[in-house]
Amino acid sequence: MIEKAPILAMDGITKVFPGVKALSNVSFQLFSGEIHALMGENGAGKSTLIKVLTGVYPLDKGTVKLEDVPIVVQSPLHAQELGISTVYQEVNLCPNLSVVENIFIGREIMKNGRIDWKKMNDRAEELLSRLKLDIDVTKELSSYSVAIQQMIAIARSLNVSSKVLILDEPTSSLDVNEVNQLFEVINNLKKAGIAIIFISHFLDQIYEISDRITILRNGEYIGEHKTKDLPRLKLVSLMIGKELEEFDAQSENKDTGSEHGDKKEVFLETEELTKKGSIEPFDLKLHAGEIYGLAGLLGSGRTELARLLFGADKADSGTLKIKGKTTNLNSPKQAILNGVAFCSENRKAEGIIPDISIRENMILAIQGIKGWFNYIPIRKQIEIADKYVSLLNINPPNPEQLMKNLSGGNQQKVLLARWLITNPDLLILDEPTRGIDVGAKAEIQKLMLSLKDNGKSILFVSSELEEVVRCCGKIAVLRDHKKVSEITNDGKIDHQYIMQEIAGGNL
């Protein structure tokens, strides 16, 4: 490494927004053929650094050198021309267009003033074959899985002159197999000499794929380490800037009350709850003061079950009892009135209202059950919002900020607040920790435990099995829309055991 000059060197980068110093004197070095992870909590400055690098924001101070030549990136397009390609967190493609059209949109290959489809198809296949992807490029994008779409996004961002590839949370909506598929592609690109900046909140993935790690905290450069020389706990403590014991103690604090759980009151019970095509007859008993986990692959029926329990979808048959009373949930509103809350996995499409404030997003659900004539006085709203902003450490700490200006993790916290305010007896959390940093994750877990201690039930859906094992007293494993087993967490099981159950016991 020493003899090689970095392909990209950023030095003394400073970026100030009105009232906030987003980056202060940050440096960053990237070598070709390496995968370099950029780590930090929500708001540490990762995205800002990327946006400065790709010309979304002009930088206030500092230098950027690409192959030893100082550059001033004017715009994202300019960055791409310089060989810096970016794939953003959310797939920014058009699902209704074909794969080819998505790859070449805005830069179609023309012949005699018309689009040269044949050449474009060939070129697209060539690009995708670089990623070891062999698919029909004339099909609509939406006919492929999110993982394939993610790779198509990568193919689109790559061109012949690409030297640097930035992947911002590329795995946040992928399941285990899809992540592996993506990693293969990334490793191939690395072998081809491309320098890759990888941003992810999944520590496992960082350790699996990255060569080096640069850590940011509160807009400041904390350090750069070789991945193999940096223990996980050390990394986490560098990111959150706290000593580890505190954090450790928390993660040990699992739901061990499960043996007593059965004696507690049953809050919700289903018998043969069925919805054709999404849930096979399902039996479930949720006790008060219990954290119940749903594990399984994406599409195994986890979310589908959660939606049935919340009345977001209607069951075809079977019964659902809340506090022993048979209840027909025809709408989310009814579920909320019965003390059920549901935090959807799809934050953007089913959670946030982008154009209204944090405060208004927070009070939405409670106002929904109060009805529109029973308007919560503004002063009271502000009081509630202030309380949850500080309780959940929401940043920026201004309840009047518009929701769309918040980072993903902070939006998630606002949505949690929306449901906590309704004071539910059962909180269904569908992937609440997806795409958010360790600090916020720990906060959410802590919150779940304290709710449990207050006698609430929690249905916890997560792809991160360690997290499920750590938090849940009971775990149902789903496969192909069915419950395949129910495990009582006696403290001896681990995530590998659950993995086996998911895979069908023959791993």
Partner 1 sequence: MTKSRLFWPLVVLAILLLINLIYDPSFFVIDIRNGHLTGSLINILNRGAPLILISIGMTLVIATKGIDLGVGSVIAMSGAMAAFIVDGNLGDSERLFPLFLAIALAIGLSAATGLWNGMLISRIGIQPIVATLILMVAGRGVAQLITGGQITTIYYEPYSFIGGGYLFMLPFSIYIVAFVLCVALYVTRRTALGLFIESVGGNPLASRLSGISSKNIVLMVYMFSGLCAGIAGLILSSNVASADGNNAGLWYELDAILAVVIGGTSLMGGRFFLMGTVIGALIIQTLTTTIYSVGINAEVILLVKAVVVLIVCLLQSPEFRKKISGLFSSSRKTPKDEGVNHHESL
| Nearer to partner 1 (CB atom), residue 320 or residue 472 | 320
> Least separation, in Å, of the C-beta of 483 and partner 1?
24
Strand order in the sheet with 426-430: 340-343, 426-430, 457-461, 291-296, 474-479, 482-488
> Least separation, in Å, of the C-beta of 60 and partner 1?
10
Tell me if 116 sits within 8 A of 109, measured CB to CB. Answer: yes
> Least separation, in Å, of the C-beta of 172 and partner 1?
12
SS3 sequence of 170-210: CCCCCCHHHHHHHHHHHHHHHHCCCEEEEECCCHHHHHHHC
How far is residue 403's CA from residue 347's CA, in Å, rounded to a whole number?
A: 12
How far is residue 176's CA from residue 146's CA, in Å, rounded to a whole number?
A: 12
CA 145 to chain centre: 17
| Nearer to partner 1 (CB atom), residue 78 or residue 123 | 78
> Least separation, in Å, of the C-beta of 77 and partner 1?
16
> Least separation, in Å, of the C-beta of 302 and partner 1?
16
Tell me if 57 sits within 8 A of 51, measured CB to CB. Answer: yes
| Nearer to partner 1 (CB atom), residue 167 or residue 406 | 406
> Least separation, in Å, of the C-beta of 413 and partner 1?
13
Radius of gyration of the chain (CA): 24
Tell me if 14 sits within 8 A of 61, measured CB to CB. Answer: yes
| Nearer to partner 1 (CB atom), residue 40 or residue 293 | 40
Tokens 């930088």, residue?
59
> Least separation, in Å, of the C-beta of 257 and partner 1?
30
> Least separation, in Å, of the C-beta of 164 and partner 1?
19
| Nearer to partner 1 (CB atom), residue 112 or residue 374 | 374
Q: DSSP letters along 208-263, please? A: HH-SEEEEEETTEEEEEEEGGGS-HHHHHHHHHTS-HHHHHHHHH----THHHHTT
| Nearer to partner 1 (CB atom), residue 253 or residue 334 | 334
> Which residues of the shown chain bind partner 1 in the complex (CB under 8 A)?
17-18, 20, 22, 40-48, 57-58, 310, 312, 331-333, 335-337, 342, 344, 349-356, 360, 363-365, 367-376, 395-396, 401-402, 405-409, 418, 437
How far is residue 483's CA from residue 279's CA, in Å, rounded to a whole number?
A: 9
How far is residue 302's CA from residue 280's CA, in Å, rounded to a whole number?
A: 12
| Nearer to partner 1 (CB atom), residue 356 or residue 503 | 356
| Nearer to partner 1 (CB atom), residue 114 or residue 379 | 379
How far is residue 250's CA from residue 226's CA, in Å, rounded to a whole number?
A: 27
